[in-house]
Amino acid sequence: MQKTFNMEEYILIFRHPDGKKVASPEQIQAWMKQTMDWIGGIAAQNKFSSGTGLVFENAKVVSHKSVENIVTDGPFGDIKETIGGFIIVKADSVEEAVGFAKGCPVLQGEGNSVEVRKIARRDGLH
Amino acid sequence: MQADKLIPHLFRSEYSKIVSVLCRHYGLEQVEQAEDIASETFLSAAQSWALNGVPENPTAWLYTVAKNKTKNYLRRNNLFENKIAPELKKALEAIDEPGIDLSPENINDSQLQMMFALCHPTISVDAQISLSLRILCGFGIEEIADAFLTNKETINKRLFRAKEKLREEKIRVEMPGASEIEQRLAAVLRTIYLLFSEGYYSLSNDVTLRKDLCFEAMRLCNILVENKTTDLPEVNALLSLMCFHASRFDARMDINGELILYDQQDETLWDQELIARGAWFFHHAAGGDQISKYHLEAGIAWCHTQKTNSKEKWEQILQLYNQLLQLEYSPVAALNRTYALSRAHGKKEAIEEAEKLNLANNHFYFLLLGELYSDMDTAKARQHFEKALALAKTQTDKQTIEKKMDRLMRG
């Protein structure tokens, strides 16, 4: 039987240095396919929880009140990087989650990175 | 048709109709009485038709006899008479004209409502399937036992407990309310799907029985499609999935009931009419804004009705499995996805992915690995086939693996 007990959930966040870069439809399609294969591989191990891409169009950033324009179109301008999407996986350890992240097609893009963070359990300890 | 052939045929279709109509009228707590009345009706038919020949309209004959038997039952049922003793006169009128409606519309509605009643969430899934086989599909206890590879006592006990549960929970033969219907329909679809799988993948050697299970599942799903409230995209997707699978029924088994693998099937035996029907329901499944697992599985099954081995086809199958696994994990889907990956991206990549699957108790897992290594590393392939053979439980599975090993050694 598969071990599903004692598993933690980790979020893998896709980070891009510049959300304004426009990819060609062909590039986007190829990237989508690779991403689907990557996620499919994780799901085939029964380690996929959930996930979604994020749309850049109409994105807004709400800033601290001291900044004049509280809501900006964006994200991007001053901010060094932006988030393109995320998935949540089940893993026995952070190392396993990092192993999944290493296969993420986002990493083929220069300057891109995947942030791995454990999801806090609602047990009052985290 | 001769009486001795006609009766089992009619039993399959009419038993469930009589029981459903009676239960809708008198309540599910009377299910055993309803079953008795239906069984006795067929007993009378067997006796009378053998002596006097088959009547002109056998179904109408059955309905008339069933109605009369119901009247007799009500007459001699003391409990019933005591209960309504103060209103005896009225009751006697009720007995004379119990108002049992065996019109096609009422039969359809009754069967539909019965499906929802029997697939009530308080009943265990195993029991739902056994009850459905018995009451909705008119299967005998022995046939159900055969399908589940168990004995009659087990099935009798299971049915008895399930009927008790129906009584305890006071489950009624009616359509669930609009707010509930989606959730309740999910349970009905799951039972139909399991019923179909039971037939399609059953370990029983009785080919006719297996086919009957599949076609009964399709008949029940068809009742849902024909009803406005339940003619939903997901229901159409399930029916289309079953049509696509069933189209290969005759091609996937040889005369001895042995499984013929997809690659070796004679595609001229694929039932094109069922494929076309499947496509029609698939088209109707396209409405709505949700992709269910039935949609994805129907898509995969459709791909398999195309005998090409193009990379594009396997790429499409791979993507559908990617989505399916995100919706719902199952070892079978994980293994099939890896096979599709090998056809779309090559065996090397598939082996890497296969080794991550963590299914070391599953003989299909080693069968897949053996298959993937076959053209690359004969010794490794052999090792995996041997592990598969050690884990396989049924004779059919063992034979399939042995055949593969033979082919491997002959090169």
ipTM of the complex: 0.80
Q: Would strands A8-16 and A71-73 be described as parallel, antiparallel, or unpaired?
A: unpaired
CB–CB of A44 and B357 under 8 A? yes
Is residue B27 assigned to a domain? yes
B331-368 burial, b at 16+ Cβ within 10 Å, e below that, comes to bebbbbbbbbbbbbbebeebbebbeebbbeebbbbbbb
Chain A residues with CB inside 8 Å of B321's CB? 40, 44
pLDDT at A37: 95
| CA closest to A4 among chain B residues | B358
The residue of A2, A29, A49 whose CB has the most chain B CBs within 10 angstroms, and thus the best one to mutate to test that interface, is: A2
User: How many domains does chain B divide into?
Assistant: 1
A:16-45 residues touching chain B, CB 8 A cutoff: 33, 36-37, 39-41, 43-45
Is residue B132 assigned to a domain? no
CA distance B337 to chain A (A): 8
CB–CB of B329 and A1 under 8 A? no
Chain B residues with CB inside 8 Å of A44's CB? 321, 325, 329, 333-334, 337-338, 353, 356-357
Is residue B44 assigned to a domain? yes
pLDDT at B295: 96
CB–CB of A40 and B338 under 8 A? no
Is residue B30 assigned to a domain? yes
Residues 6+ apart with CB under 8 A from A26: none
pLDDT at A1: 41
CB–CB of A40 and B337 under 8 A? yes
Q: In B53-102, where does DSSP find H-type helix?
A: 58-76, 78-83, 88-96
Q: Report the candidate in B18, B15, B22, B10 with the shortest Cα–Cα distance to residue B49.
A: B10
CB–CB of B318 and A1 under 8 A? no
Q: Report the candidate in A74, A78, A72, A80 with the shortest Cα–Cα distance to residue A112.
A: A80
pLDDT at B98: 62
Q: So where are chain A's domains?
A: 8-118
CB–CB of B322 and A46 under 8 A? no
Measured CA to CA, the distance from residue B294 to residue B236 in angstroms comes to 9
From residue B315, give the alpha-carbon distance in Å to each of B58, B257, B319.
53, 32, 6
Is residue B347 assigned to a domain? no
Chain B residues with CB inside 8 Å of A41's CB? 353, 356
* From the candidate CATH numbers 3.30.1300.10, 3.30.70.100, 3.40.190.10, 3.30.70.1060, the one assigned to the domain spanning A8-118: 3.30.70.1060
Residue that the structure tokens 């996930």 belong to: A51
Q: Report the candidate in B327, B287, B326, B282 with the shortest Cα–Cα distance to residue B300.
A: B282
pLDDT by position in tens, chain B (length 411): 677 778 888 887 799 899 999 998 888 888 889 999 999 999 999 999 989 999 999 999 999 999 999 988 887 775 555 655 555 555 555 555 667 888 888 888 899 999 999 998 888 888 888 898 889 888 888 888 877 778 899 999 999 999 999 889 888 898 998 888 888 898 899 889 988 988 887 766 677 777 888 998 999 999 999 998 999 999 999 999 999 999 988 888 777 666 777 777 888 889 999 999 999 999 999 988 889 999 999 999 999 998 888 899 999 999 999 999 999 999 999 999 999 999 999 999 999 999 999 898 888 999 999 999 988 899 999 999 999 999 988 777 888 889 889 888 886
Read off the pLDDT of residues A26-49 as tens digits, 9 standing for 90 and up.
888 888 899 999 999 999 999 999
| CA closest to A48 among chain B residues | B326
Q: Report the candidate in B306, B307, B303 with the shortest Cα–Cα distance to residue B315.
A: B303
Is residue B235 assigned to a domain? no
Is residue B289 assigned to a domain? no
Measured CA to CA, the distance from residue B225 to residue A118 in angstroms comes to 45
Q: Report the candidate in B174, B228, B167, B218 with the shortest Cα–Cα distance to residue B192.
A: B218
Domain of residue B35 covers: 1-101
pLDDT at B346: 94
Read off the pLDDT of residues A53-86 as tens digits, 9 standing for 90 and up.
888 778 887 877 766 656 666 655 555 678 889 9
> Is the Cβ of B317 closer than 8 Å to some Cβ of chain A?
no
Is residue B97 assigned to a domain? yes
| CA closest to B335 among chain A residues | A44
